[in-house]
A and B are shown apart, each in its own frame.
Chain A
Amino acid sequence: MAHFLIKRVAFMVPTLFGVTLIVFLMLQIVPGDPVNSILPPDASEADRARMIQEFGLDKPLYVQYFSWLFHIVQGDFGRSLIKRMAVNDLLFESLWNTFLLSMAAGIVSFGLSIVIGVYSAYKPKSLIASLANIIGLTGVTIPNFWAALILVGVFSVMLGWLPSSGMSSIGGGGPGDLLAHLILPAVAAGMTTLGVMTRMVRSTVYDILQQDFVTTLRAKGVSAVTVLRHVLRNGMPTILTVAGLQFGYLLGGSVLVETVFSWPGVGQLIYQAISQRDFPVIQAGVLMIAVLFVCLNLIVDLFHGMIDPRVRHT
């Protein structure tokens, strides 16, 4: 087990290296001169030259890469080109907001999927089971930005129950206000996860129910609640593994939902930075999410290795 652990963690290092390389290269292929987009068109040659030097753009590519990497590792993501602040300040607050959103989406979809999934595994011919089918299919195919718009259309415009954008009302608000702002985005963001998890929970629990030990338990006259407890304990490892991975997708895919709801998260930050060509922000945002994703995958893998010995020996 220790061997597996060490090997897996060791693999992370070149992976992270590769990730930073790709993020760096991604912005190198942007057509056009980054300096041009910052300076006004009538800037003098001297101004241009100074700017190029300031950003180290005259140095060879690998030098730029390593000096950027050097700063990153120390936590210095540079300064935003547009907003004239340190990227760190922008970044960490928005990361937290995205995390909040993803957690909410995760809890909602995870909770619902377990309830619906388990029920439909127990009663495969019921109405709920058909509902589970529909949820499973819809969740996976529906574009989440469209679902977001529907939710806004129904709950904000037509019914007026919930706010349609932002994280809090003007003038600030308490936790209740935050919750009101959180519900719609969380539901929209969580739809795909709900679909995937419902299908997965249902098939996992269904398979477990077919096993002999369940029949034995029932024959022994054990209460249904206890049986359920055993079933869940059996299925949790697989379910949690998938849930962990899905959380990663939530983090990464938040951009679309955040844009619709103007939710001040990393996704929106990246998106705005793209339209403003604010490269340090784009780089930092994409990189942070990717790093989080890699770490999350590592945790999930280790967890998987812990519970399923076969994985350790691939």
Chain B
Amino acid sequence: MVQSNTGAVAEKSIFASQPKEESQLRLFWEVFYRNKVALVSLIVLFLIVASCLLASVLAPYDPLDGKVTERLLPLGTHGHILGTDEQGRDIFTRILYGGRLSLLAGVMPVLIAACIGGFLGVTAGYFGGVLNTVIMRTLDIFYSFPAVLLAIGISSALGQGMLNIIIAISIVFVPPVARIAESAVKGVMAEEYIEAAKSSGAGHFSIIWNHVLMNIFSKMFVYSTTQISISLVLASGLSFLGLGVSPPAAEWGIMLNNLKQQIFINPMVTLIPGVFIFLSALTMNLVADGLRDALEAKK
């Protein structure tokens, strides 16, 4: 059936010796491995996260138990490697347990915002027109608030608690995510394969699911990963202001708040929770950078 003057057979022989198609995933990991900084960061981050998840196994004490006679013991005290806080509770234990909430508050808002913001951005970008204007202009209004202020406003309105902090930060993150999604979708809509898909009779949902989403994924992924470290710092900041968990619960932000009065007595101990917030945010940032470089490398 295939005539030789269509060139098909000729092409076949030329390409017969071509190497097997490299999986895009493999290429991605190769580049990532070569980035030493990102790799080390990933390991450190993994250690922090794993320790917090295994808090009940690793922690030597009860996070809520404290002997007032043993308050504010310095670093390296026997039995209390990171010292004790103003109520005599072991800081190392509270760091492990508290980390769960802090890290959760770093990740959850990003996931929630990615879903909601992604949905809004895709809808606005795909359908265009009035819908686009309405969605994007409404989101623009939220952009008029500095992020920290908006987060404070919303979480204080909702009341205390880590859940409310998560909700507040999610809301703050939705507009930028939606913007990224909308602009990425607009880029995709200009491609001819979308026209081809429309002329095949595919419904909107099929086109979005099969053609749009996969082509905006890497942009969204890169942006969302950079948001995680911001979310972590923001959440602990809100918690530091007292908008998070109530005492005596453990969480990095509130620990910093509790301890800040004691800075005149034992400055080193008071700074420990911050070290962990900083370290987590730093490693997340470096890993996110590494991921972005790796994703862009294959082009």
Contact = CB atoms under 8 A, between A and B. Distances in A.
Q: Which of A144, A145, A154, A249 has the most CB of B within 10 A?
A: A145
B263 A157 contact: yes
A143, A252, A282 — most chain B CB neighbours (10 Å): A143
A142 B281 CA distance: 8
A5 interface: no
Interface in B264-296: 264, 267-268, 270-271, 274, 277-278, 281-282, 285-286
A46 interface: no
B145 interface: yes
A31 interface: yes
A29 to B, nearest CB: 5
A36 to B, nearest CB: 14
Contacts of B247: none
B154 interface: yes
B256 A146 contact: yes
A106 interface: no
Contacts of A30: 157-159
B144 A255 contact: no
A141 B159 contact: no
B50 interface: no
Given A19-B141, A249-B146, A260-B260, A158 B267 contact: yes
Interface in A120-165: 137-138, 140-146, 149-150, 152-154, 157-158
Interface stretch (A110-118, A211-219, A288-296, A299-307): A288-296
Interface stretch (B67-75, B215-223, B235-243): B235-243
B271 A251 contact: no
Nearest to A145: B240
A145 B271 contact: no
Interface in B110-169: 137-138, 140-142, 144-149, 152-154, 156-159
Interface residues of A, number: 48
Contacts of B263: 149, 152-153, 157
B253 to A, nearest CB: 9
Nearest to A251: B146
Contacts of A253: 146-149
B45 interface: no
A252 B149 contact: yes
| Most interface-central of A21, A154, A260 (chain B CB within 10 A) | A260
Is the contact region of chain A dominated by helix, strand, or loop, or is it mixed? helix
Contacts of B141: 15, 18-19, 21-22
B277 A157 contact: no
Contact of A29 (B157, B233, B264, B282): B157
- Contact residue range for chain B? 35 or more
Contacts of B225: none
B229 interface: yes
B153 A15 contact: no
Contacts of A9: none
A136 to B, nearest CB: 11
A18 B154 CA distance: 15
B146 A27 contact: no
Nearest to A252: B146
Contacts of A252: 145-149
Interface string A251-275: 1110110011000000000110011
Contacts of A153: 263, 267-268, 270-271
A141 B278 contact: yes
10 nearest A-B pairs in the assembled complex, by CB-CB distance: A252-B146, A146-B274, A18-B141, A153-B267, A253-B148, A252-B149, A141-B281, A274-B156, A143-B233, A294-B144
26 contacts: A14-B137, A18-B144, A19-B144, A23-B153, A26-B153, A27-B157, A30-B157, A31-B159, A138-B282, A141-B282, A143-B233, A143-B237, A143-B278, A145-B237, A146-B256, A150-B271, A150-B274, A154-B267, A249-B146, A249-B148, A252-B145, A252-B146, A255-B149, A274-B152, A274-B156, A290-B145
Interface of B: 137-138, 140-142, 144-149, 152-154, 156-159, 229, 233, 236-237, 240-243, 256, 260, 263-264, 267-268, 270-271, 274, 277-278, 281-282, 285-286
Interface of A: 14-15, 18-19, 21-23, 26-27, 29-31, 137-138, 140-146, 149-150, 152-154, 157-158, 248-249, 251-253, 255-256, 259-260, 270-271, 274-275, 282, 286, 289-290, 293-294, 297
